[in-house]
Chains A and B, each alone.
Chain A
């Protein structure tokens, strides 16, 4: 009889788009369970590893919505490489705080900031360096740009919620968050 094989570790990538990194901080709030998690997974591209581009992964975790062209490129890289893509937190799921600008015309915002007297950088011009990604007319949740498989709501989701969701998923079960773990705030 063969000895039980250790299953290969799952590859996980994470990133933050138009978010505040709060969801990543909450991820770290799983505390010492991170060590248990590391027995099951290894990290590819992530602020934790500082790897700049992600390779083929089992799970991709995205924090933040899509507010500029670079966000679109990163999100597509994740979608192209990750078998399962998870939206983590309010901004990824419904645009969150950055999307509060959506009822304003972007041109008016840029003008107010760079051109008018009351703006933060009045008298300057709207930055046009090709190195800078252009801003989208509106902020979008990530599921409006690529297909997303799972969603973990919360601003941020608690460490316990992230832990429960990921351990369900890694165990091959449909993830559930019971009362107290699912929240939108």
Chain B
């Protein structure tokens, strides 16, 4: 099949629909290897979009290549937990074996090796993606074998199957991970609940101007259970789920949408991966409940590109649900209750975890957070009312629909109902997945995962909070330490400065670039941290960090910018010596290595005399004389 046919094939599979551009670009790239200028032109013509807009989308996402990247593209997950497990040495070893530099294509055009943001395998790192297929638990032996297979151009289908095995590592299950409800159970209870003849037809039969209030029977009765449960969003922001659903339900609409946010990009978080592996039906059931309550007719799972390997298993679960009458037309025999779910893949952009950026991406555009108001509940996907919830939120909602709000409320604390799934990684004996009722103390979690000599815990990822041992009595709960699930443990042997530097690099790499403060500020922060790491830091630079924090806090467009300085601010408060011991006593130092800045001249003149060098130290008067 030639390129033109391949592109036409992909386009027709997606009905030449530009809003499906992300999937079109990914599937085209899977066939052709990369997105050449001619390919982008053909796709733009196919979807009838301006070419520049298509190129703009392709250029936004890390996993789309507008330049050749080789037959094999190896990406090393570069979360701090991967670093602690030695990923940098392994990557260097791989590059040596393959005769190439990180970030560059090999001279024969066969392979490229680079780093990528956390791939969500922190409990089984160091991890790589090879052509976007996850391979955890890398070792030097695997590096050598893999380099050999790549050089022999062995198809990935022939690579050892056990390399691709992803462990669930569930160490503590509670109501969610231990849930034994069968597919359809929650929906059957919902349909039976508060059923009255007047509302026999499902809510998406309503005229688009009609607003049904939650006090009504039928879908409203299930909404009441969700509200009664006190369920709050599990993605980090903690918005009350019942209110979100109600707002969507009450917004005038032609079509309503339910979107499951499975763009689990916060470094150190991998609980959605396990939920989608072990409880996919529960998640889909939750989405179906949301559709029933809000009157939505279409659902999407926005799955991060790093979890590409989950696409086929999830699609087969969806097929099973369709067969069982749990998706499609007239669900469970309820006339007019039509709802279906489709899995869309992201392509390497952390910002798409922000709900309005996710929606932009789902519409085929660059993942840039929208201006708000209006909010997605009234103007979301394709400008229609849209509920966006986290994977875990939907799973919890399904249980609440099945067992009732009061039942759910009986778990957790008064202000934080239910359980929370933690993804634990770093310095502990048993990394993996732990589900706890809200209110569990950090200390208890540390004990149960086998953490010793703990120096610090980063909770909820880089955008969350870093705490020191004197705060280990604090609790995981919305009223104390809220979390999207990441729980990274650092023992006394770790350099907190390097932890923070890793996070700062992450934010600079993932900034969407829409607003000035985040686009430029995160890169300035990265440069400052690199300057301090190189031994050129001063107290002046610490002040600069504080100043940049205040600019980002006040003026950034979205949460990424607001929280980009959190790792710095939290650790400057708690672990200031980690910075200070790297500082020069001087109050100012150049950001660059002055001697290195003469390197090109030295090379071209062949000089190496004393005058051909510069020290970064300020000369004393004596030296000058």
Contact = CB atoms under 8 A, between A and B. Distances in A.
A105 interface: yes
Contact of A137 (B588, B598, B618): B598
B374 interface: no
B604 A110 contact: yes
Contacts of B611: 69, 130, 133-134
Contacts of A133: 611
A137 B591 contact: no
Given A76-B619, A127-B605, A145 B600 contact: no
Nearest to B618: A76
B598 A107 contact: no
Interface in B561-591: 587-588, 590-591
Given A77-B624, A144-B591, A137 B600 contact: yes
B588 A146 contact: yes
B599 interface: yes
B618 A79 contact: yes
B621 interface: yes
A72 B594 contact: yes
A38 interface: no
A111 interface: yes
Given A69-B598, A130-B609, A147 B603 contact: no
Contacts of A72: 594, 614
A147 B540 contact: yes
B534 interface: no
A145 B594 contact: yes
A138 B602 CA distance: 14
B585 to A, nearest CB: 14
B599 A137 contact: yes
Contacts of A79: 618
Contacts of B601: 106, 110, 134-137
A120 interface: no
B592 interface: yes
B597 A138 contact: yes
B605 A134 contact: yes
Contacts of A111: 604
B614 A80 contact: no
Chain B interface residue count: which class?
A: 20 to 34
A5 interface: no
A80 B612 contact: no
A147 B612 contact: no
B600 A107 contact: yes
Contacts of B609: 130
Nearest to A108: B600
Interface string A97-115: 0000000011100110000
Contacts, number: 73
Nearest to B620: A80
Given A133-B611, A137-B597, A145-B594, A107 B588 contact: no
A126 B621 contact: no
Most buried by A among B587, B604, B612, B621: B604
Interface string B90-119: 000000000000000000000000000000
Contacts of A107: 600, 603-604
A36 interface: no
Chain A interface residue count: which class?
A: 20 to 34
Contacts of B591: 144
Given A69-B614, A147-B540, A134 B607 contact: yes
A146 B536 CA distance: 12
A127 B612 CA distance: 13
B160 interface: no
B606 interface: yes
A174 interface: no
B544 to A, nearest CB: 12
B150 to A, nearest CB: 32
A128 interface: yes
B445 to A, nearest CB: 46
Contacts of A127: 605
Contact of A126 (B588, B590, B604): B604
B619 A134 contact: no
Contacts of B599: 137
Contacts of A105: 600
A145 B599 CA distance: 17
Nearest to B612: A134
Contacts of A73: 619
A33 to B, nearest CB: 33
Interface in B233-287: none
A115 to B, nearest CB: 9
A73 B624 CA distance: 9
Contacts of B606: 128
A80 B619 contact: yes
A83 to B, nearest CB: 14
A69 B615 CA distance: 10
Most buried by A among B540, B607, B621: B607
A82 B481 CA distance: 51
A147 B588 contact: yes
A147 to B, nearest CB: 4
B587 A147 contact: yes
B600 A128 contact: no
B115 to A, nearest CB: 25
Interface in A65-124: 69, 72-73, 76-77, 79-80, 105-107, 110-111
B195 to A, nearest CB: 70
A80 to B, nearest CB: 6
A67 to B, nearest CB: 10
Interface in A123-165: 126-128, 130, 133-138, 140, 144-147
A136 B613 CA distance: 11
B600 A130 contact: no
A98 B290 CA distance: 62
Most buried by B among A111, A128, A146: A128
A105 B591 CA distance: 20
Nearest to B621: A80
18 contacts: A69-B612, A77-B624, A80-B624, A110-B600, A110-B604, A126-B604, A130-B607, A133-B611, A134-B611, A135-B601, A136-B597, A137-B596, A137-B597, A137-B600, A138-B597, A144-B592, A146-B618, A147-B540
Q: Which 8 A-B pairs have the closest CB atoms?
A: A128-B605, A147-B588, A134-B601, A106-B600, A136-B597, A126-B604, A110-B604, A134-B598
Given A130-B612, A147-B540, 4 more contacts: A77-B619, A140-B590, A144-B592, A146-B590
